[in-house]
Amino acid sequence: MCGNNMSAPLPAIVPAARKATAAVIFLHGLGDTGHGWSEALAGIKSPHVKYICPHAPVMPVSLNMNMSMPSWFDIIGLSPDSQEDEAGIKQAAENVKALIDQEVKNGIPSNRIVLGGFSQGGALSLYTALTTHQKLAGVVALSCWLPLRASFPQGPINGVNKDIPVLQCHGDCDPLVPLMFGSLTVEKLKSMINPANVTFKTYSGMMHSSSIEEMMDVKQFIDKHLPPVD
């Protein structure tokens, strides 16, 4: 199951109950693995959708005194003006694009794939969707922010995902990624992509975590943008 140190273990997968005609690729947060999210998604699954929850590689993280843990890229600080791991973020986005390509090879067109994630994984899913040439069905961004936001031009993007539907969710008591980050991110997103397609939901009392209410909103979004084709 586990490869060498260079490669993370194979993703946790919730297979479709029948032929998969759509997929959700969901990226976990810092220090986590794909297993917890694969269980959460199994609780809201649709029979024609395959859910793929990859595991981040283990690397030293500056924010956590260089302790090694699963991380998509290095995090140096958690304030809006913290230095960012630009090379790491860009490489991580390429790895996600390769995952999308793999599903396309498996017969699921990219416009039948929703990309999502929580916290650091949500940040990476937003960055990937805004920089890829693959047309996606939507993005689910939970308790997160937009990395390298200064690297994006002012005003609307021209890419294939300029009208992409985005569901962004945040707890109003999040001590790690404050709600303000979510609010700043949604404003930036609305300036870059069709604002009518950006939905921002907040959850009263929720900290840096998820909730049943949030997962029901995620399910509704996935079902809307990945309807059965048969």
CB contact at 8 A, 201 and 167: yes
The reported pTM is 0.95
Residue whose C-alpha is closest to residue 198's, from 209, 207, 188, 189: 189
Q: Supply the residues annotated as catalytic.
A: 119, 174, 208
Residue-by-residue pLDDT tens, the chain, 230 positions: 333 344 568 999 999 999 999 999 999 999 999 999 999 999 999 999 999 999 999 999 999 999 999 999 999 998 878 999 999 999 999 999 999 999 999 999 999 999 999 999 999 999 999 999 999 999 999 999 999 999 988 888 888 999 999 999 999 999 999 999 999 999 999 999 999 999 999 999 999 999 999 999 999 999 999 999 96
- Please name each of the domains of the chain with its CATH number: 12-225 (3.40.50.1820)
Q: What pLDDT does 7 receive?
A: 56
